[in-house]
Amino acid sequence: SVLTRDEVELPPPAIDNRLTVHPLWPEIDRISTEQIQAAFEGVGGEIGWQLFAEEGDMRMYRREMEVDGMVMDPLKAMHKVRGVSAREMCHYFFNPRYRYEWETTLETMTIVEEMSSDALVFHQTFKRIWPASQRDALFWSHVRASDSNTYAVTNHSTTNAEYPANTGACIRLFVTVCLACRSTWPAGEQPTRDNITTSIAYCSTVNPGGWAPAGVLRAVYKREYPKFLKRFTGYVVDQCKGKQLAL
């Protein structure tokens, strides 16, 4: 059959063979598996998760954590979005073509390496948070189907000799992020834009990599994470309007 350009670029339903022979594959596979599993575990039974933002179906929790005086609060968010699939959600999160349209913290983004259709390495610089130094990050990003009707993107910091840390104006930060999505629709019905719901679990841990005032950081965190999740999910709903549902 003839595939449209958009279908070709959707996250593949199985791991790309080119990725499994890449030197980073064992790390990518291990961290993605761990992150996806953790993302779908609730916050209910666990101690220390505090709710800090709630709006409609969106709930955001954080755990206060400091290492050597640096704030590293892990974040966990849940959301439910109607009318789009898990695969579509992950497509827009993974594919760099759309990133500037929804990512508001970004200053620059460079694709450092294309490992396969489902794995890339990015260098990104972020807007400066006064009075701290500007930050950059270098991370791999991998999208995969994990269960039935489940797709996830995992981002995790890495290194590259051509992008050394802390040599220019930026301090390198370290990030582990997972966006895990699962679609459901009423039993016995065919999935359509009108009956599909996608549950999202987004987990993020950012190590600022160097000094930044805790108070300022926590204020940015509290403002920027809800803003990101609302903007991103709204963006995907808008982009999918009038397009055929991709499962």
Contact positions toward ligand 16C, by CB under 6 A?
Answer: 103, 105, 124, 126-127, 129, 132, 135, 137, 155, 173, 175, 177, 204, 206, 208, 212, 217, 220-221, 224-225, 228
The gap from C-alpha 188 to its chain's centroid, in whole angstroms, comes to 32
Which tokens is 235 given?
A: 């963006």
How far is 123 from 136, CA to CA, in rounded Å?
Answer: 7
Which residue lies nearer to ligand 16C by CB, 155 or 158?
A: 155
Quick one: the chain helix, strand, coil %, rounded to 5?
30, 35, 35
> Do the strands 75-82 and 70-71 form a parallel or antiparallel pair, or are they unpaired?
unpaired
Which residue lies nearer to ligand 16C by CB, 151 or 225?
A: 225
Which residue lies nearer to ligand 16C by CB, 184 or 205?
A: 205
The gap from C-alpha 87 to its chain's centroid, in whole angstroms, comes to 13
Closest approach of ligand 16C to the CB of residue 121, in Å: 12
Which residue lies nearer to ligand 16C by CB, 141 or 183?
A: 141
Closest approach of ligand 16C to the CB of residue 187, in Å: 33
Closest approach of ligand 16C to the CB of residue 1, in Å: 32
Closest approach of ligand 16C to the CB of residue 190, in Å: 32
Closest to 32 (Cα-Cα) out of 140, 165, 116: 140
**How many residues comprise the chain?**
247
Closest approach of ligand 16C to the CB of residue 197, in Å: 22
Which residue lies nearer to ligand 16C by CB, 122 or 196?
A: 122
For residues 39 and 180, the answer to whether their CB atoms sit within 8 Å is: yes
